[in-house]
Structure 1
Amino acid sequence: MSKDNVLNFLSKAAEDEHLKAKLETTASQDEVVGVANQAGYEFSTEHVDEMLTELKQKPGFFGMLSEAVAELFGPVHDDYPATGVQPYGGDSNPKP
């Protein structure tokens, strides 16, 4: 049950900006567990290790992990327009 709490917490953290912000300030697995426990997800560092071991054995784990990390710690949105970055339109060599 506690291994399920690990996955449930990580899924919730991927969607919840408040939890993301808290996780970005953590420096250890113990601190991550502390944030999770405060949010109502009861598990220990041993449960995190068990879940990671189990997930590593699944095909495609590292691809899914990298996507999850990018989602969790990546920017929510960028400031670029929908068409992409616009090229520089000025004169790069103005004449005096």
Structure 2
Amino acid sequence: MRPKPHPFVRIALLAAGWTLFLVVAPLASPLPGPGGTVIAAFGLILILRNSRWARHRFVRLKAKWPRVGAFIDRILVRGSAKRRRSRAKRLATN
């Protein structure tokens, strides 16, 4: 488990995540290549790591729309998604 950052650092990372997700990613999306998607994913990672509210909303989204949640997990390469996939493979082979 990673240590909790100082509240000022956490707020700065959260603000950087929102800026990347809402400002930089849409500006980079018209450029050739997947730059906007990568920037949006990085911003979303910062938001989910530093905001309890965002994590709660993300869990509710995954419960309501599991396919969307699984897609976002694959994009973000979350550890929980990797564990679920490996567990599902183990159970399928048994």
Q: Provide TM-score, normalisation by structure 1.
A: 0.31
Larger helix percent: 2
Structure with the greater alpha carbon radius of gyration: 1
Q: Provide TM-score, normalisation by structure 2.
A: 0.31
